[in-house]
A and B are shown apart, each in its own frame.
Chain A
Amino acid sequence: MLAYIIRRVAQSILVLLVVGLVAFSMFRFVGDPIDNMLGQERTQADIDRLRIELGLDQPFVVQYYKFLSTAVQGNFGVSYRQGRPVSTIIAERAPATLELAAVSGILALTIGIGLGVFTAIRRDGWASNIIMSVSLIGVSLPTFLIGILLIYLFSVELDMLPSFGRGEVVDLGWWTTGFLTESGLKALILPSITLGLYQMTLIMRLVRSEMLEVLRQDYIRFARARGLKERAVNFRHALKNTMVPVITVTGLQLGAIIAFAIITETVFQWPGVGLLFINAIQFVDIPVMAAYLMLISVMFVGINLIVDLLYFWVDPRLRADRAGGH
């Protein structure tokens, strides 16, 4: 087991290095940061000086190496635009994104699994059919459109919820939270629904189809033949077997929630790292872009690792294979 974790971590590091390399090879196509950094009154000498100062005259592999060698020491460089350390900027912005992603993820998981199980058990009921039809909206409408529709309905027409921002936040020193104020909580509602809706419907449809498959299995029939209560058959026997494939997709989707927060944060002007990234692209703020991409990769790779370990926890057959095979 430990050997397996170590091997997976080693693989993960390799993945991260490749992601970084690809990212750096593409930054040159985004634009030239020098244009934005120097004003109208620039001379060619200024441009050349700044280019050398920032190391932008060197090939991207060398730039990448420099980024890595300082990044492993916890130093992600200084933002071209704000002139402040990138780690400080991200630390300021991260709580907003993480709180939004956590609320969306919990919404997507609980409602997704709950409705999935419900529509599987009441397969032919009218409520299931309505839920399934409505869920098509969730999987087919793009996130930004849902966000704009929600803003139009709840902010413009009904004037119930704020259309942008985080509301009032409480500063805990190392973390700013919107959970403790009424305006903060209100501000969370629309963005978290927007962000989580796609994942919620995806998880729901997946749970439903997996559960229907499991309910056809012999051991479910046998559980019924043993006179177990319907609740025990559905939740103890069926749901647990449903979870194995669901965990994979769900894990990746939770990573996607953080990554795709970019769109939701843009629509709602949510002051998180996604919005920071969009602004960084407009300014070609390479240190911020690089740090953000690495952060997202670490998160994806970490979630993948956790998903793989969850399999062992859920499915005893894998535990036995590992013990025998490694």
Chain B
Amino acid sequence: MSEPVLSVRDLVVEIPTRTGVLKPVDRVSYDITEGEILGVVGESGAGKSMTGNAVIGLLDRPARISGGEILLKGRRIDNLNRDQMRRIRGKEIGMVFQDPLTSLNPLLRIGDQLTETMLAHLDISADEARDRSIAALDEVGIPAAASRIDSYPHEFSGGMRQRVVIALALCAEPALVIADEPTTALDVSVQAQIIALLKRLCRDRGTAVMLVTHDMGVIAEAADRVAVMYAGRLAELGAVREVVQRPRHPYTEGLMGSTPLASRGQRRLRQIPGSMPRLGKLPAGCAFHPRCPKAQEACRVDPGPDLSADQGRAACWFPVEQVEVAE
């Protein structure tokens, strides 16, 4: 296996507050290789977006990275200064946001937004940037790109705007794209198109994708591997098929049981009792133990084995036993 595009090692993000230090991301490790789509799934507040923001260096103060390493193509990027990090954003790491209606500057033509991004990172002339912008719009499926390039964002529909956003994120050909809930704000019919587009573009270019979502359907559709997050920690990490069909962590099992999947046929959805604890009130030991049907004494004391990138699938002392099937 070649060197991973993104390698996150024991990442810790802290938010100092008056009542104590919160850890929205706690010792999270994962790799994404070239052309791979890693789905990051979890409930609101599980730390998925925070992880993405930490990678691209856009944590809102006072949140900060307090431990671990982030390596992009083997180079450490979590300790770069502001200007060095700015050069990486857009050029090496692209980002797609949730709401295409608010992601584009309403007062600037989309062509201007594309060309300014290219000119910030690539050594090309303004004319060339414009030609490339038209090509980029064409590639994301904007019809008549050459005549639409001088339109303003409000002249596009939501789905079209998300295509423009994707064109913007990819226009400097980054090695990694962080897509933070890219389909959540869209109509269901448009969601599938956007996911298909993102998948195709990234496969063609070999771009690694970190796909943050709470939608298991999107993960099952698009991702190669999936990381399940719970209360700032990685609960389970593995190939999508494995995790969906044979979850090991009791939380993942509960998550799958509560997700309607067409492949499983109709049956009553199961719920996980209770709700995810607030960050300031995390229980000792494994954060999931108060809700876990299998919790034992050890779970109340020790947070469970750390998941490293290559060994162990679930951060649980008593993983769900599944019939082992050769992969």
Q: Do A and B bind each other?
A: yes
Cα-based distance from A224 to B82 in the complex (angstroms): 11
Min CB distance B112 to A, Å, is: 9
B116 partner residues in chain A, CB cutoff 8 A: 228, 232, 236
Q: Compute how far the CA of A317 lies from the CA of B56 in the bound complex, rounded to whole angstroms.
A: 31
B87-95, B131-139, B290-298 - the one binding chain A: B87-95
Query: Is B27's beta carbon under 8 Å from chain A?
Result: no
In the assembled complex, the CB of A124 is this many whole angstroms from the nearest CB of chain B, namely 9
Give min CB distance, B113 to chain A, whole Å: 8
Interface size on B, residues (CB 8 A): 31
A222 at the interface (CB under 8 A from B): yes
Contact pick for B95, options A222, A230, A240, A320, CB 8 Å: A222
Is B196 engaged at the interface, CB distance under 8 Å to the other chain? no
Q: Which of B90, B106, B108, B154 contacts A225 (CB 8 A)?
A: B90
- Select from chain B the residue with minimum beta-carbon distance to A243: B107
User: From residue A25, how far is it (CB to closest CB) to chain B in Å?
Assistant: 45
Find A227's partner among B86, B97, B108 (CB 8 Å cutoff).
Answer: B86
Least distance between B15 CB and chain A CB atoms (Å): 17
A-contact bits for B128-161, CB 8 A (1 contact / 0 none): 0000000000000000000000001011000000
Contact with B along A227-255 (1 / 0, CB 8 A): 11110100011001100000000000000
**Pair B88/A221 contact, Cβ less than 8 Å:** no
Q: State in angstroms the CA–CA spacing of A226 and B97 once bound together.
A: 11
- Which residues does chain B contribute within 8 Å of A4, judged by CB atoms? none
User: 1/0 per residue B55-95: CB within 8 Å of A?
Assistant: 01010000000000000000000000010001111110011
Which chain B residue shows the least CB distance to A238?
B105
Q: How far is the CA of A227 from the CA of B95 in the complex (A)?
A: 10
The answer to whether B103 has its CB under 8 Å from any CB of chain A is yes
Contact of B242 with A by CB under 8 A: no
Contacts of B102 in A (CB 8 A): 217-219
A317 to B95, CA, bound (A): 26
Nearest neighbor of B107 in chain A, beta-carbon distance: A240
Q: How far is the CB of A213 from chain B (nearest CB, A)?
A: 13
Give which listed residue, A222, A227, A315, A316, contacts B88 with CB less than 8 A. A227
Contact A314 B89 (CB under 8 A): no
B314: chain A residues at CB < 8 Å are none
Whose C-beta in chain A lies nearest to the C-beta of B99? A218
Whether a CB of chain B sits under 8 angstroms from the CB of A293 is: no
CB–CB A228/B117 < 8 A:
yes
Residues of B within 8 A of A150 (CB): none
The reply to whether the CB of A50 lies closer than 8 angstroms to some CB of chain B is no
**From A227, A315, A320, contact of B117 by CB (8 A):** A227
Given A217-B102, A317-B154 in contact, is the A228-B120 Cβ separation under 8 Å? yes
CB distance from B149 to the nearest CB of A (A): 14
- Chain A 292-321, CB-CB to B under 8 Å as 1, else 0, gives 000000000000000000000011110010
Is A315 within 8 A of B95, CB to CB? Answer: no
Shortest C-beta distance, B179 to chain A (Å), equals 11
Q: Which residues of B contact A229 (CB under 8 A)?
A: 86, 120
Q: Is the CB of A241 within 8 A of B168?
A: no
User: Which B residues touch A240, using CB under 8 A?
Assistant: 107-108
A227 contacts B89, C-beta separation under 8 Å: yes
A222 and B169 alpha carbons, distance in the complex (Å): 9
Task: Say if the beta carbon of B208 comes within 8 Å of chain A.
Answer: no
Q: How far is the CA of A237 from the CA of B116 in the complex (A)?
A: 11
Residues of B within 8 A of A237 (CB): 105, 108
* The one of A218, A226, A315 that contacts B89, using a Cβ cutoff of 8 Å: A226
Interface status of B199 (Cβ within 8 A of chain A): no
User: Is B235's beta carbon under 8 Å from chain A?
Assistant: no
Q: Among the listed B82, B104, B120, which residue makes an inter-chain contact with A222, where contact means beta carbons less than 8 Å apart?
A: B104
B104 to A241, Cβ gap below 8 A? no
- A222-B95, A227-B90, A229-B120 known; A241 and B105 CB under 8 Å? yes
A221 and B107 within 8 A (CB)? no
- A154 and B192 alpha carbons, distance in the complex (Å): 71
Cβ contacts under 8 Å, B300 to chain A: none
Task: Determine the distance from Cα of A225 to Cα of B59 in the docked complex, in whole angstroms.
Answer: 11
State whether the Cβ of B246 lies closer than 8 Å to any Cβ in chain A.
no
Q: Give B160 Cβ to nearest chain A Cβ, in Å.
A: 15
| Among B106, B107, B116, B117: residue with most chain A CB under 10 A | B107
Contact (Cβ within 8 A) A317 B106: yes
Find B90's partner among A219, A226, A317 (CB 8 Å cutoff). A226
Q: Is the CB of A241 within 8 A of B89?
A: no
- Give the distance to chain A from B97, nearest Cβ to Cβ, in Å: 6
Q: Are A219 and B104 in contact (CB under 8 A)?
A: yes
**CA A314 to CA B89, docked complex, whole Å:** 29
B165 within 8 A of A: yes
Q: A16 on the interface (CB 8 Å rule)? A: no
A320 to B151 alpha-carbon distance, docked (Å):
11
Give Cα A232 to B117, complex, Å. 10
- A278 located at the interface, meaning its Cβ lies under 8 Å from any Cβ of chain B in the complex: no
Instruction: Give every chain A residue within 8 A of B9 (Cβ-Cβ).
Output: none
Q: Measured between alpha carbons, how far is A205 from B99 in the docked complex, in Å?
A: 30
Contacts of B104 in A (CB 8 A): 219, 222
B121 touches A (CB below 8 Å): yes
A223 near B: Cβ within 8 Å?
A: yes
A-B contact pairs, 11 of them (CB 8 A): A219-B106, A222-B95, A224-B89, A226-B89, A226-B117, A227-B86, A232-B116, A236-B108, A236-B116, A240-B108, A320-B155
Besides the known contacts A222-B165, A227-B120, A229-B86, 8 further A-B residue pairs in the complex with CB atoms under 8 A apart: A217-B102, A222-B103, A226-B89, A228-B86, A237-B108, A240-B108, A241-B107, A316-B154
Residues of A within 8 A of B (CB): 217-219, 221-230, 232, 236-237, 240-241, 314-317, 320
Q: Which residues of B contact A (CB under 8 A)?
A: 56, 58, 82, 86-91, 94-95, 97, 99, 102-108, 116-117, 120-121, 152, 154-155, 165, 168-169, 172
3 tightest Cβ-Cβ pairs between the two chains A and B? A227-B90, A227-B89, A218-B102
